[in-house]
Amino acid sequence: MKRNIFLLAALVLAVGLVGCSPLKKMKKNADKIAYSTQPEQLAVVGDGVPLTLNANFPEKYFKKKALLTLTPLLTYNTGEVAYDSYTVQGEKVRANNNVIPFTGGKMSYSSNTPYTEDIRAAVLNLKAVASKPNGKKKVEFPLVQLGQGVNATVTLAKDANTLMYAPDSYQQITKEAVEADIKYLINQSDVRSSETRKGEVKQFLNDVASVVNNDRAKVVNTQISAYASPDGGYELNDNLASARQKTAKSYFTQQMKSAKTPELASDNFLELISTPEDWEGFKSLMEASDIADKQLILRVLSMYEDPVVREREIKNIAAAYEEIKDQILPQLRRSKMILNYELIGLSEEEIRTQYAADPSKLTAEQLLFLAAAEDDLNRKIQIYETATKQYADDFRTWTNLAVTQLEAGNEQAAKAAAATAQRLNDADAAVKNTLAVIAMREGDLARAKELLASADQTAAEIKSNLGTVNMLQGNYNEANNYLNDVQTESAAIAKLLNRQNDAALQILNNLEPSGSVSYLKAIVAARQNDTVALYQNLKDAISADVAYKKAALTDVEFAKYVKEAAFQALVR
């Protein structure tokens, strides 16, 4: 009987000791630990979701021979994602963890976990497990909820990359001119027959006839521009230029009458110009010459405004002046006959008709112009493919084919076309931008940034994509700097990430309507508690793309509205 009493007493003592276990005491008082997180609202940065966990342990809480392992968890409907665990220890534990004294203390650690769509609406819980140093005894605390959801607004920038087409130079109406010089002997103004028989003048007259007889050409005006070389006195040169203008006009008028186009020499068409001292012509000829002292002479031209001083100083360069007299001055004693006209090319409709009949007769510029004017993506791709076959060495045809394939979602076809464009011209901004967008879509932000940083950054598309890359890397201020003067979705997202809601809305209001623009407007409205604008823009976004229903349901930006009937009516 006595033995049984001792056994019962020992059992009661053992139960009492377990009931008073230091680990269980820590669990019982776990609510006295003050936890906080930075940021308070989890958000995507780069390709992850960073978290800093802070804990403040009160006096006499942390047992001297205890360990506490903390593991933040993102729990969602079908699973959970764990951040790295962090262990702290009491002051009598022999280990290398952060020590929390019995008198109380603080801890802080940071971790990161990859972002996936699954965790957008996840609950942030904290799992805590107390244990003895030998690991034989463990006590798990109740989960502590630290937050709700992950703000993924920055991920919208992944679809906001800006494409850039290589431009065509097609102009339906181009300004053209044909011209010829009549040269004169020194101090003379008569038109010599040797000048009128030379090939340049004959070709000019033939060209004038061709322009007049061309149904797609429209004559603008004709000009006689007469000059004197800048040697001798100004008065002499002025008289020479005027006399040469008269003789050239007389010759031109006679030729137009013979060609039965006298109207081209009439006062309504013919403009008369006289230049007594042709210093600009002198400078151009000197720059193009191989005269040994030409740089010295050009410096003289820039040093002196007075033409008399100029001429004197140039004559002082005696060796060079003999060459000038032989090579330069005779070319300046002239009258120039000019016919200015507009050449009217094919209209868009005519190019379209020709493409249907025989695209091989279209120039590269016409094909690029036609494709740019096409709205249907499949048709656009077809035209660019034709252009790459006919003008395979023109990098623009391949670049624009790649861009259009990206617009159509044909990533592999885009990569192949972009590779050819790069081989033909790896320095062009449109080529670099296209390669960068491909890299961005593949998640290679470092490669995209390298390409964009080496491109011409005056282009809005380059700046916009540099801003996007920096956003996706978590460099929000730098992104904002690139996008300050850019009006794109990326620029609006950068403003949102920097909490500049009004500025974001101003940009969005200036963009072409689209599902993504409406969705971003809905985010601004939610932040500004404007429910009318929120529901209208969300409705517009869903009308454009039903995928925004699912996105809105798990978007932290709309968390406080998600249970409202109006919100549910839109997304269910």
pLDDT digits 0-9 by tens, 237-275: 899 999 999 999 999 999 999 999 999 999 989 999 999
The CATH code that applies to domain 2-151 is: 2.60.40.10
SS (H, E, C) 377-445: HHHHHHHHHHHHHHCCCCHHHHHHHHHHHHHCCCHHHHHHHHHHHHHHCCCCHHHHHHHHHHHHHCCCH
Topology of domain 173-344 in CATH is 60s Ribosomal Protein L30; Chain: A; (3.30.1330)
CA-to-CA distance for 141 and 28, rounded, in angstroms?
A: 8
pLDDT tens for each residue of 455-498: 998 898 999 999 999 999 989 999 989 998 889 898 999 999 99
For residue 86, give the nearest of 70, 100, 72, 98 by alpha carbon: 70
Strand spans (E) along 238-293 = 270-275
> What are the sequence ranges of the domains in the chain?
2-151, 173-344
What's the pTM value of the predicted model, to 2 decimals? Answer: 0.71
Helix or strand holding residue 46 (H, E): none
Pairing state of beta strands 144-148 and 173-183? unpaired
Q: How far apart are CA 363 and CA 174, in angstroms?
A: 15
Residue 90 and residue 57 in contact, taking contact as beta carbons nearer than 8 Å: no
Residue 329 belongs to what H/E stretch? helix 329-332
Question: Which H or E run contains 541?
Answer: helix 531-544
pLDDT at residue number 293: 78
Could you tell me which residues come within 8 angstroms of residue 403 by beta carbon, excluding any fewer than 6 positions away?
A: 163, 164, 165, 414, 430, 434
Q: Which of 92-96, 172-176, 193-197, 325-329 has the lowest mean pLDDT?
A: 325-329
The contacts found for 550-554 with CB under 8 angstroms, 24 or more apart, are 551/519, 552/519, 552/522, 553/121, 554/120, 554/121, 554/149
pLDDT tens, 364-404?
999 999 999 999 999 999 999 999 999 999 999 999 999 99
Query: What integer pLDDT is reported at residue 319 of this predicted model?
Result: 58
